[in-house]
A and B are shown apart, each in its own frame.
Chain A
Amino acid sequence: MVTTGDVGVVGELHVLAVDDSFVDRKVIERLLKFTSCKVTVVESGTRALQYLGLDGDTSSIGFDGVKVNMIMTDYSMPGMTGYELLKKIKQESSVFREIPVVVMSSENILTRIDSCLEEGAEEFLLKPVKLSDVKRLTDFIMSGEGKKVGGKRSQKRNRSDDCISSLSTTCSTVSHPCDLSSLSPSAMSSKKSRL
Chain B
Amino acid sequence: MDQLQRKLRDYEAAMFQQGFLDDQFSQLQKLQDDSSPDFVIEVMTMFFDDSEKLLNNISRALEQIPVNFKQIDAYVHQQKGSSASVGAARVKNICATFRSFCEAQNRDGCVSCLQQLQKEYSQLKKNLQYLFRLQQEFKAAAGSIPTGE
Pick the contact of A27: B33, B77, B85 (CB < 8 A).
B85
- Please name all residues of chain A whose beta carbon is closer than 8 Å to the beta carbon of B30 when the two chains form the complex: 131
For the complex, give the distance between the alpha carbons of A26 and B24 in Å: 14
The residues of A that contact B22 with a CB separation of less than 8 Å are 194-195
User: Chain B interface secondary structure, helix, strand, loop or mixed?
Assistant: helix
Cβ of A30 within 8 Å of any chain B Cβ, yes or no, is: yes
Within the complex, the shortest CB–CB distance from A181 to chain B, in Å, comes to 23
Are A24 and B82 closer than 8 Å at their CB atoms?
yes
Q: A128-B24, A192-B23, A194-B23 are in contact. Are A23 and B46 (CB under 8 A)?
A: yes
Interface residues on B, range: 20 to 34
Number of A-B contacts (CB under 8 A): 63
- Over the window 9-34 of chain B, the binary record of Cβ atoms lying under 8 Å from chain A Cβ atoms (1 yes, 0 no) is 00000001000001110011011010
Is A130 interfacial (CB-CB < 8 Å)? yes
Q: How far is the CA of A76 from the CA of B23 in the complex (A)?
A: 24
Mark A residues whose CB is within 8 Å of B: 21-24, 26-27, 30-31, 33-34, 76, 106, 127-131, 192, 194-195
A-B contacts besides A22-B46, A34-B31, A194-B22, 12 pairs, CB < 8 Å:
A21-B78, A22-B49, A23-B47, A23-B82, A27-B85, A34-B33, A128-B85, A128-B87, A131-B27, A131-B31, A192-B23, A195-B16
